[in-house]
Structure 1
Amino acid sequence: MTQLSVGSEIGQLRQVIVHRPELALRRLTPSNCEDLLFDDVLRVESAGKEHDAFQKALRDNGVEVLLLHTLLAETLATPEGKEWIMERQFSPWRYGQALQREVLTSLNDMDLDDMAFHLIGGMTVSELDHKSHSLTLDTLKETDFVIDPIPNHLFTRDTSCWIYGGVSLNPMAKVARQRETVHLRAIYRFHPKFRNADFITYYGDEDINYDHATIEGGDVLVIGKGSVLIGLSERTSPQGIENLAQALFKSGQAKKVIAVMLPKDRSCMHLDTVFTHMTHDCFSYYPGVNLDTSPCWELRPGDEGRVVAERTKAGLFKTLAKALDIDSLRMIPTGGDVFEAEREQWNDANNVLAISPGKVIGYERNVHTLKKMEAAGIDVITIPGEDLGRGRGGARCMSCPILRDGI
């Protein structure tokens, strides 16, 4: 039986899920990109080539790359997986009965690869194979979506995050991203690779309304040695952290969760946009957000399965050093002067992905920060990001590790 586990942020990365840009990003326009949580429209062909370079960097360093589109199509090949997905995305309450049948008929007429293509990329009225006598359909224009595109699937880090011997299937804060979790829930439940694998599902795999208890993987750092760091952000709530912490403690997979407050700003949407782990004692951080003076809590198991949260007085950096059992941390700031640092942080200079201790992948455009990392002894593998970076996500955002060594 395959055993999947992510034991740290920096141990040797062995398997990862990524998603290459395709139809969903071609659906982005100036009029809808804000609703789809993007700041700009991307050149999809260029973004695809840049993503290919990212995948090559991973494979060249011994990482097995799994493509989300392929995993979804292979999940749809299982009758129970396909039925499960359709039941959760195409109800008569969303479409009305006539249009529901129309959409399902169109999807079922496709081969599995095209079906996955449209589940992620969306479908317009004009792409329906049949036209029924539907009141709902009659109110729509030919260019309206009957299946909304999910361009944020590009950022596989957020939808599910692996923590030690299990996974959290994250209830997403924004409606535009909530269908992503349906796909990952189905993949982990029905795909042959995961169906017989040995792992725990901590959180998010029930058909319930999680209400305010949202969490996204960009805020979750598996520090190692039984500790987890989670950012309190615009997308990850204290309720989400408490519920995930309770599941982690109950399973025995973690002994401590550290929570730190982030500003509710677009520029630091997730913790990993301002703070990432690069080697045992070394982190990349953005000085424009002073995490060491931000409110910080330690959560630990209490009596009768309760979670106890206590405000720390030491500050985040000393709290992390203690969790890692080292004297102090080396903090590598975003490079350049105050203006250059702000620009590079916006372009994901701090959102690097460690593939082994002291070796990271980052965007080549962030030259000032890369120089600081290299001066600190970090081996930086650079990839192009002129278009991918406009999606506001770097190498860590675009990767979901499912097998990584501990420290």
Structure 2
Amino acid sequence: MFHVNSEVGALKQVVLHEPGLDFERLTPANKDELLFDDVVWVARAQEEHRAFQALLRERGVTVHLLHDLLAETVKLDEAVDFLFDRVLDDRQPHLGAGLAAATRTVLAAMGPHELATHLLGGLNKRELTTALGERHPPLRSLGLDLLADDDFILPPLPNSLFTRDTSCWVYDGVSVNPMAKAGRKAETVNYEAVYTYHPMFAEARAHRWIDGEAMAPAAIEGGDVEVIGNGAVLVGLGERTTPAGVEILARRMFRAGSARRVIAVELPKARALMHLDTVLTMVDTDAFALFSGLDPRALRSWTLTPGTGDAPEVRENPDFFSAVGAALELDSVRVLQTSQDSYAAQREQWNDGCNLLALAPGTVVAYEVNEAGNRMLEDHGIEVLRIRGDQLGRGRGGPRCMSCPVERDAA
């Protein structure tokens, strides 16, 4: 049932996360730790996101919201135990046995909707002690005593907005990714629970290419993974994804016969270029939008194919886009770049000008702020569906980052 066979084929089903309590807990003091560049006007962010949802539904895409999936998952006792054993491990530096046990008691008393809200939005000391109330003896815990009332026992996870990163479907399997940054690691546990226990996914019995934190410290993030079709996958090697992560993904897909080659491309290690899809996305069966600040001839890349043993064969490519064309069995591919000065290029890159979600061949969703890039795409025959992202983009992610396709046809 679930499969993603291309980057640009007809999009059928997708997982999104609408901002909620997690966004309400972003502050000037914690935004850097939580990987946001600024605090967010939450009501406007929700308005922008609902417009994004509506656009997808109008185009025939089934939208699953992460909060709803998680709330349905935690109706199962085994899913709750799975989550609590990981997020409330008493070996975590800020917990300890007493605080972990008390937090488990409070969370276990919540209904599914409220529990999902706090797994995504966090739980602070005041909420814990209020919930414990007079029905429990006073809790004495080093971890608790060291916390101020507004300090978090469970941190909020506002980067859950970017559903593509934490899990990504690649052909007939899903990669539940170990995240590179501390502020995102707990997201992985939520997805592991959903894909393992939610009936919709549990019954699908899809391949599990990457099994969450079991792969750490190797890392791979979905924003670096692009399923270009014809058995080929692009993976970016930049700030977040490691060579070991690429090889593990390739090896497991090759072993199952689900992919024939993986092309790894080196990226500058910079926050503005944190993932492959911040600089390069596929917009048609033969076309890619590339950040104008990158020289397409200078991109260093390697092709991985099945080897004679367990390790893949690795070969450096003389030219990246020639390797991509060969993988797609095309004579060449179109590389679309906006003509603009370096100042405009940097602004558009910061606003996710190349982070485009294809709904079908030649039809993409883009932030409206990227005027020059959107006009350039239209000049090359690409239909651009514009959405607002003034608030949503403050975590450095665009329409592709905010969407995790779970069903997409071949192009």
Question: 1:88 — aligned with what?
Answer: 86
Over aligned residue pairs, what C-alpha RMSD do you find?
Answer: 1.2
Q: TM-score, normalised by structure 2?
A: 0.96
Match of 2:117 in 1: 117
The answer to whether 1:279 aligns with 2:284 is yes
Identity %: 46
Distance, in Å, in 2 between the alignment partners of 1:53 and 1:78 is 32
Q: Give 5+ residue unaligned stretches, structure 1.
A: none
- Whether contact under 8 Å (1:171, 1:181) holds in the other structure is yes
Query: 2: distance between equivalents of 1:118 and 1:334?
Result: 42
Q: Could you tell me which of 204, 207, 221 is aligned with 2:226?
A: 221
Distance (whole Å) between structure 2 residues aligned to residue 319 and residue 135 of structure 1: 57
Note the C-alpha offset of 1:334.
Answer: 3.3
How many Å apart are 1:79 and its aligned residue?
1.2
Q: Superposed, which structure 2 residues align to 1:44-83 within 5 Å?
A: 44-83=42-81
Match of 2:135 in 1: none
Compute the TM-score of the two structures, normalised by the length of structure 1: 0.97
* CA distance, structure 2, for counterparts of residue 345 and residue 135 of structure 1: 45
Would you say 1:195 and 2:202 are equivalent positions? Answer: yes
- Counterpart AA for 2:170: I
1:243 aligns with 248
TM-aligned CA deviation for residue 209 of structure 1 = 5.7
3-state secondary structure, aligned to 2:269:
coil
**Which deviates further from its counterpart, 258-267 or 90-99?**
90-99
CA contact (8 A) 2:292 2:339 kept: no
Distance 1:171 1:220 in 2: 14
- Greater Cα offset, 126-135 or 110-119: 126-135
- Unaligned regions of 5+ residues in structure 2, if any? 133-137
Matches within 5 A, 1:261-280: 261-280=266-285
**How far did residue 257 of structure 1 move?**
0.4
Give the aligned residue type for 2:232: S
> What amino acid is the match of 2:20?
E
8 Å contact from structure 1 (residues 7, 164) kept in 2: yes
Letter in 2 for 1:93: R
Q: Give distance in 2, aligned partners of 1:396 and 1:235.
A: 17
The code of the aligned residue for 2:230 comes to: K
Residues 300-315 of structure 1 aligned to structure 2 (within 5 Å): 300-313=305-318, 315=319
Q: How does 1:355-366 map to 2 (within 5 A)?
A: 355-366=359-370
Q: Partners in 2 of 1:255 and 1:342 — Cα distance? A: 35
CA distance in 2 between partners of 1:127 and 1:37 (Å): 24
Match of 1:41 in 2: 39
Q: State the one-letter code of the partner of 2:104.
A: L
Q: Is the 8 A contact 1:4 1:198 kept in 2?
A: no
1:371 matched to 2:349:
no
CA distance in 2, matches of 1:397, 1:132: 41
Determine the C-alpha separation between the residues in 2 that align with 1:262 and 1:395.
20
- Greater CA drift, 130-139 or 369-378: 130-139
Residue 401 of structure 2, aligned match among 397, 400, 404: 397
CA distance 1:292–1:198, change in 2 (3 Å):
farther
For 2:98 and 2:73, the matched residues in 1 are separated by 27
Instruction: Report what 1:208 is aligned to.
Output: 214
